[in-house]
């Protein structure tokens, strides 16, 4: 399993959390997704055999949330 942390521009509403987490949890290979509203971070754990980190990042940015940086470990 791998982890990805995405740093986003500041989130403006709590409903952003549900929107992002919901979209990520629908992706095959995501085992955990968590959005930290105050810090603007998205953390996800994923199976690298099923999904690539870039797909996760594209999903979040495709929802309209610009990514400032990302780290995969």
What residue numbers bound the domain in which 22 lies?
Answer: 2-72
CATH number of the structural domain spanning residue 42: 3.30.70.100
How many helices (H) and strands (E) the chain has is answered by 2, 4
- What is the structure's pLDDT at 49? 97
- What is the structure's pLDDT at 65? 94
- What is the structure's pLDDT at 34? 97
Q: Are the beta carbons of 45 and 2 closer than 8 angstroms?
A: yes
- What is the Cα–Cα distance from 58 to 56, expressed in whole angstroms? 5
Among residues 17, 42, 13, 39, which one has the least CA distance to residue 30? Answer: 42
- What is the structure's pLDDT at 45? 98
Give me the number of domains the chain comprises: 1
- What is the Cα–Cα distance from 47 to 33, expressed in whole angstroms? 12
- What is the structure's pLDDT at 12? 84
Q: What is the pTM of this model?
A: 0.93
Chain-centroid distance, C-alpha 65: 10
Rounded mean pLDDT for each run of 10 residues along the chain, 73 residues in total:
95 90 98 94 97 98 96 97
């Amino acid at each position: 399993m791998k982890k990805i942390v995405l740093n986003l521009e500041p989130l403006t509403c709590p409903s952003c959390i549900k929107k992002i987490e919901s979209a990520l949890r629908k992706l095959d290979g995501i085992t955990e997704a968590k959005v930290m509203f105050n810090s603007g971070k998205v953390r996800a754990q994923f199976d690298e055999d099923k999904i690539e980190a870039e797909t996760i990042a594209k999903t979040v940015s495709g929802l309209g949330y610009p990514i400032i940086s990302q780290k995969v470990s």
